Amino acid sequence: MSQFSSLLAATSTWAATDPERPCVIWEDTTITYGALLAAARQWALHYRANGIRHADRVALYLTGGPAFLGAYLGAHLAGATVVLINTQYRRVELDHILGDSEPRVVVCEAEGSMHLGELAQQPWAQLLTDPTQLKPAAIELAPGSSPHHSGEDTEDLPRPEDLAILAYTSGTTGRAKGAMLTHGCLVANSEAVCTAWNWGARDRLLLVLPLFHIHGLGVGVHGTLLRGASLVLRPRFEPEETLATLRDGRCTMFFGVPTIYTRLINTVGAGEALRDAGKHVRLFVSGSAALSPQTFADFAALAGQPILERYGMTETGMNLTNPYTGERRPGSVGGPFPGQEARIVEVQSRQPVPAGKIGEIQVRGPHVFAGYWRNPTATAEVLAEDGWFSTGDLGHCSNDGYYTITGRAKELIISGGYNIYPREVEEVLLDHPGVAECAVFGLPDATFGEQVVAAVVPRDPAHPPTQDELEHFCRERLAAYKRPRQIRLLAALPRNAMGKVQKHVLKQENAG
């Protein structure tokens, strides 16, 4: 159990005991814990002046950077709940999320306001877009600045049961739902992650992931704040810049999604850069989408150490992890974090199944969310009274406790009475030397109920594998009912901001 009731309490503690301790390195500026708390205080005053009270919602439609961190912690200091919004979202997505959460204030850069349109006129929201209104997050960022900490915020620090974040699900299969994450939930998850990965105050994380997502914010920023560590923050992922930063010896940890690791491997000069980086960076972590065994092997050969693959989701933060010390198995996401539970159950009955059998993954622990915002029906469908959360992901567990994800329950294809797991077919196609990426999904079929369809991105667009070649490849490796009836060659797979393939888009584009 953590000594802190919230991430804000941790930040406040480090600011009081060591205000000059580095927290964030942004471009050429080092932001101390004292400076970050000072910025949060000014934001809190700003929010209160604009009518924010306890449990009100503040929506952040901001790109990553110091302004985001000040606005985020300031909202919590003011007693508000933060609504995280993907900055790639436009009118349709914004209309749903803002209409559902009804924030009192929407914070965004001036250029972001053009996408809000009439939403800014809603009676429940104010729009903060003037650059001078964003300035409080940067006022105390000058090197050597030091806030005067008096401890006066103590009574304003959030309680563990207070709602900290409304994080909307990525919507890869439908309309996004707002997951309610309490301060206690966030701290419990961060404590488990820091313990499992030996995260300490001397660590420095290179963070290139967006802060509106649980991977970047809930793992990267929260872990840093909980341990009083530091991070090098970048506004976006640039392969060459990332390699240069990794090899200069300042950073000890790096988090990415599979597409980031693939791009790093394929960057000119990656071999030497990753070999140098492997001497300084003690931990490379991948999540948010499946890491292919080939990428796992290629990266380990270059960096001299394997990537640690983990498994998490919006509603829970991190659930499963390969061990920090121990075997990291390609294709597996390891076992539960400290203080958490996991199991495999039969999809319909939700009764536990034996090791090795595919079923739905359930998790339980203090990291699990409180439910979906204003949606008790959806909450009851996935969150049992005894605390077990049904993730909607299919997988199996080995006899020695390693979990493997095989797909989404909603993506299960039933053809002629047979259950077909898309991940199994995808892994076969990915073994073909001419296939770079693929996604397998089901489409209606008059005879069999559903048919298997594969979308394939060729490794060499100028010389793609032929339909006959791929069909023959699958014929030698898969039962007849599992083989794709259609194979579509694409330039790229549709993905959301965190790199997850949007199969519902593929289904819509290929229907009929």
What values do phi and psi take at 124, rounded to 5? -90, 0
Please report the pLDDT score of residue 290 as a whole number. 84
* pLDDT one-digit tens code per residue, 109-147: 766 666 776 665 666 566 665 434 444 343 333 333 333
Confidence of residue 93 (pLDDT cuts 50, 70, 90): confident
* In the predicted structure, residue 154 carries a pLDDT above the cut 50: no
Region 26-54: mean pLDDT is: 91
Residues 6+ apart with CB under 8 A from 31: 22, 23, 24, 25, 66, 141
pLDDT, the chain, mean: 89
The pLDDT value given to residue 138: 37
Phi-psi region for residue 372, left (φ > 0), alpha (ψ -120 to 50) or beta? beta
Averaged over 455-467, what is the pLDDT? 95
Burial of 317 (0-12, 13-18, 19+ CB in 10 A): buried
pLDDT of residue 122: 65
304: left (phi over 0), alpha (psi -120 to 50) or beta: left
Question: Could you identify the residue written with the tokens 């495999």?
Answer: 344
In this prediction, residue 113 carries a pLDDT of: 67
More confidently predicted of 207 and 140: 207
Tokens of 263: 């791009």
Query: How far is residue 143 from each of residues 17, 22, 32, 68, 407, measured CA to CA in Å?
Result: 18, 10, 8, 19, 48
Please check the confidence at residue 47 and state whether its pLDDT lies above 80: yes
Angstrom distances, CA of residue 434 to CA of 438, 456, 467: 11, 10, 12
Helix 293-303 to helix 258-265 angle (10° resolution) is 50
Given a cut of 60, whether residue 72 has pLDDT beyond it is yes
Q: Spell out the residues 6+ positions from residue 438 whose beta carbon is closer than 8 angstroms to its own.
A: 426, 429, 430, 454, 455, 456, 457, 493
pLDDT for position 370: 98
pLDDT in tens, 239-260: 999 999 998 888 999 999 988 9
Highest mean pLDDT among 179-183, 413-417, 474-478: 179-183
Q: pTM of this prediction?
A: 0.85
Region 33-46: mean pLDDT is: 92
CA dist., res. 295 & res. 316, Å (int): 26
Q: What is the pLDDT of residue 128?
A: 66
The pLDDT tens digits of the residues spanning 302-331 come to 999 999 999 999 999 999 999 999 999 999
Mean pLDDT over 280-289 rounds to: 93
498 versus 2: the higher-pLDDT residue is 2
Q: What integer pLDDT is reported at residue 96 of this predicted model? A: 87
List of residues 6+ apart from 122 with CB closer than 8 A: 98, 102
In sequence order, which residues have a C-beta less than 8 Å from that of residue 404 and are 6 or more positions away?
331, 332, 333, 395, 396, 397, 398
Whether the Cβ atoms of residue 89 and residue 64 lie closer than 8 Å to each other: no
Distant-in-sequence, close-in-space partners of 22: CB < 8 Å, separation ≥ 6: 30, 31, 32, 33, 230
**Model confidence at 160, in pLDDT bands (50, 70, 90)?**
very high
- Give the residue with greater pLDDT, 67 vs 109: 67
pLDDT digits (tens, 9 = 90+) for 168-183: 986 555 578 999 999 9
Residue closest to 236 by CA, chosen among 220, 270, 260: 260
Highest mean pLDDT among 67-76, 246-255, 366-375: 366-375
Find out whether 213 and 498 touch, Cβ atoms under 8 Å.
Answer: yes
pLDDT beyond 50 at 415: yes
pLDDT at 150: 40
Contact 69, 75 (CB under 8 A): no
> Residue 409 — very low, low, confident or very high, per pLDDT cuts 50/70/90?
confident
Give residue 414's pLDDT: 85
Full set of structural domains in the chain with CATH? 7-141+157-196 (3.40.50.980), 331-409 (2.30.38.10), 412-510 (3.30.300.30)
